[in-house]
Amino acid sequence: MASTGLTGDSADQPPLDTALGQTAAAPVPVLQAAAPDRGLFANDISRQIAATQSSTVNPAEPVEAGGRVQNVLKRALALLGTPYRWGGTSTEGFDCSGLVGYVFRSALGIELPRVSREMATSGEKIDRNSLSAGDLVFFSRRGRRVDHVGIYVGNGNFVHAPRTGRDVTIPCLTEGYWSRKFMQARRVSGI
């Protein structure tokens, strides 16, 4: 059975791709708090992308823990503005779980389950007050079952592909709509 990369899998194997290395562990960028339900504006996002691109990548060295998170955040932030597409798993368009899967696969070589409800059953469950950048955050928009996922980026914000007609964006997790829809968080092993 192949590992999904979520903490708690039966196969505790390192991620497949160790070619993404860093000469020094760069600090994880901290996103500034956004107005409730409004997300970050383009100039805020540009600063965050610039901050993540300042690290030096050396493919000959293994990726350190902070570097792995940095790679996930860099990849996720680079996809801001990509259109939502139901069932989408590529840069042509993403649904929520397609975005999360693409980010972890392309940044670290970690394969995650395809849909949010399956992602939410594996891995180490994390308390909302203990969230760290790179953790997966899960929501229920229509009841009690997980039906949405995003990647926590820090400072009360997460990146996700929200719905048809919207693009990949960064909303606030601590106030407003998404705060009320939050169900749980999980930590992916290897980051």
Strands (DSSP E) found in 109-190: 124-126, 136-139, 148-154, 157-159, 182-187
Q: How far apart are CA 145 and CA 8, in angstroms?
A: 21
Q: List the catalytic residue out of 73, 96, 126, 188.
A: 96
Buried b (16+ CB within 10 A) or exposed e, 126-152: beeeebebbbbbbbbeeeeebbbbbbb
Q: Confirm whether 31 is a catalytic residue.
A: no
> Is 5 marked active-site?
no
For residue 172, indicate whether it is catalytic: no
Catalytic residue of the set 68, 75, 105, 148: 148
d(CA 110, CA 176): 32
Catalytic site residue from 68, 74, 160, 187: 160
CB 64 within 8 A of CB 22: yes
Nearest Cα residue to 187 out of 117, 112, 115? 112
Pairing status of strand 93-94 against strand 124-126: unpaired
Give the active site residues. Answer: 96, 148, 160
